[in-house]
Amino acid sequence: MTGDARAERPSGGEPIRVAMLINGYYPVVGGAERQLAAVAPALVARGLRVDVLTRRFPGLAPQENIEGVSVHRLPATGPKAVKSLTFTVAALRLLRRLRPDVLHAHDLYSPSTTALVAKRIFGTPVVVKVPRGGHLGDLARLRGRFLGHRRIAWLRRGVDRFVVISREIDAELDAAGVPPERRISIPNAVDTGRFAPLAPDRKAALRRALDLPEGPIVVYTGRLAPEKRLHDLVGIWPAVRAGCPGAQLVLVGSGDQAASLARAAGEGVSLPGPVLDVAPYLQAADLFVLPSSAEGLSNALLEAMSAGLACVATAVGAGPELIDPGENGWLIPAGEPEALRRAVLAALNEPQRRAAVGLRARERVASRYSLPVVAARFPELYRQVIVAAPGRTCGSSTS
Amino acid sequence: MRIFYVIDSLKIGGAEMLLLAMVRRYLRLDHQIQVAYFSEGPLHDELTELGVPVHRISRRGLADPRALFRLLALLRRERPEVVHTHLRKSDLLGQPAAAIAGTRVRVSSIHNEDPWRRNKLLTLIHRVCTGRCQKVIAVSREAGEFLVETGTYPAEKIVSIDNGIDLERFDPERVVPADKTTLWGLEPGDPAIGIVGRLEPQKGHHVLLEAAAIVVREMPGARFVIVGDGPLRPELEAQRARLGLEEHVVFAGISRDVPATLAALDVVVSSSLWEGLPLTLLEAMAMAKPLVCTAVGGVRSLLEDGRTGVVVAPGDPEALSRGLLRLLGDPREAARLGARAAATVRESYSEETMHERILDVYRSLQTGEARECV
Each residue's pLDDT tens digit, B112-121? 888 888 888 9
User: What pTM was computed for the model?
Assistant: 0.78
pLDDT: which is higher, A29 or B100: B100
* Full pLDDT tens readout for chain A, 399 residues: 444 556 777 777 789 999 999 999 988 777 788 899 999 999 998 899 999 999 988 778 899 999 999 999 998 887 877 888 999 999 999 999 999 999 999 999 899 999 999 999 999 999 999 988 877 788 888 888 878 889 999 999 999 999 999 999 999 999 999 999 999 999 999 999 889 999 888 898 889 888 898 899 999 999 899 999 999 999 999 999 999 999 999 999 888 898 899 999 999 999 988 787 899 999 999 999 999 998 888 999 999 999 999 999 999 989 999 999 999 999 999 999 999 999 999 999 999 999 999 999 999 999 999 999 999 999 999 999 999 887 544 433 333
Show residues of chain A in contact with B179, CB under 8 Å.
193
pLDDT score for A6: 65
Most confident of A31-35, B14-18, B308-312: B308-312
**pLDDT at residue A4, as a whole number:** 56
Residue B49: which of A45, A193, A274 has the nearest Cβ? A274
**How high is the pLDDT of residue B40?**
87
Task: Report in angstroms the alpha-carbon separations of A394 from A18, A159, B349.
Answer: 16, 20, 59
What is the model's pLDDT at position A84?
86
**What is the spatial order of strands in the sheet that B267-270 belongs to?**
B249-253, B223-227, B192-196, B267-270, B291-294, B310-312
Find, among A230, A215, A225, A227, the residue nearest to A268 by Cα.
Answer: A215
Determine if the peptide bond prior to A27 is cis (ω within 30°). Answer: yes
A336: left (phi over 0), alpha (psi -120 to 50) or beta: beta
* CA gap A369, A186 in Å, rounded: 9
Q: What angle (nearest 5°) sits at the alpha carbon of residue A311, between those of residues A309 and A315?
A: 155
Which range (B10-24, B60-74, B297-311, B323-337) has the least confidence?
Answer: B10-24
Residue of B291, B329, B328 whose CA lies nearest to B310: B291
Distance CA(A379)–CA(A46), nearest Å, equals: 9
**Residue B66 burial (CB count, 10 A):** 11
From the list A37, A61, A193, which residue is nearest B256 (CB)? A37
CA distance, residue A7 to nearest chain B CA (Å):
14
Partners of residue A41 in chain B, C-beta under 8 Å: 183
Q: Is A226 exposed, middle or buried (0-12, 13-18, 19+ CB in 10 A)?
A: middle
Distance from CA of B304 to the nearest CA of A (A): 29
Query: What is the C-alpha separation between A285 and A327, in angstroms, rounded?
Result: 19
Query: In whole angstroms, what is the distance from residue B229 CA to residue B200 CA?
Result: 9
Alpha-carbon distance B328 to B342, whole Å?
Answer: 19
Residue B12, CA distances (Å) to A26, A74, B19, B46, B285 in order: 12, 19, 11, 11, 22
Sort out which chain B residues have CB atoms less than 8 A from A273's CB and list them: 24, 27, 50
User: Can you tell me the distance from the alpha carbon of B82 to that of B146, in angstroms, rounded to the nearest whole number?
Assistant: 25
Q: Where are the alpha helices (DSSP H) in chain A?
A: 31-45, 80-98, 110-122, 138-143, 148-158, 167-175, 200-209, 230-243, 258-264, 279-284, 299-306, 319-322, 337-348, 351-368, 371-375, 377-388
Contacts of A67 in chain B (CB under 8 A): 183, 252-256
Among A329-338, B118-127, B173-182, the minimum mean pLDDT is found in B173-182
Q: Give the span between the Cα atoms of B160 and B263, in whole angstroms.
A: 30
**From chain B, which residues contact A within 8 Å (Cβ)?**
9-12, 24, 27, 39-44, 46, 49-51, 167-169, 173-174, 176, 179, 181-183, 185, 229, 233, 251-257, 260
What is this model's ipTM? 0.70
Among residues B291, B298, B285, B295, the alpha carbon closest in space to that of B347 is found at B285
pLDDT at B202 over 70: yes
Give A-chain residues touching B257 at CB under 8 angstroms.
Answer: 194
Secondary structure element (H or E) that encloses residue B97, with its range: helix B88-101
pLDDT of residue B369: 53
Q: Which candidate, A136, A366, A356, places its Cα nearest to that of A228?
A: A136
Percentage of residues of chain B with pLDDT beyond 90? 68
Residue B43, pLDDT above cutoff 90? no
From A58, A193, A209, residue closest to B176, measured CB to CB: A193
Map residue A253 onto helix, strand or coil.
Answer: coil
What pLDDT sits at residue A391?
Answer: 57
Distance from CA of B21 to the nearest CA of A (A): 10
In angstroms, what separates the C-alpha of B369 from chain A's closest C-alpha? 35
Contact state of A60 with B42 under an 8 Å Cβ cutoff: yes
Highest mean pLDDT among A189-198, B12-21, B286-295: B286-295
* Residues A28, B42: C-beta atoms closer than 8 Å: yes
What's the confidence (pLDDT) of residue A395? 37
User: Does residue B216 carry a pLDDT above 70?
Assistant: yes
Q: Give pLDDT, residue A397.
A: 38
> Given this model, what pLDDT does residue A5 score?
59
What is the distance of C-alpha A389 from the center of its chain? 28
pLDDT at B347 over 80: yes
pLDDT of residue A332: 96
Q: Is the pLDDT of residue B208 over 50?
A: yes
User: How many percent of chain B have pLDDT more than 70?
Assistant: 98
Band of residue B373 on the pLDDT scale cut at 50, 70, 90: very low
Structure confidence at residue B109 as a pLDDT band (50, 70, 90): very high
Residues A43 and A36 sit within 8 Å (Cβ to Cβ): no
pLDDT the model gives residue A194: 87
Report the alpha-carbon distance of residue A149 to residue B180 in Å, rounded: 47
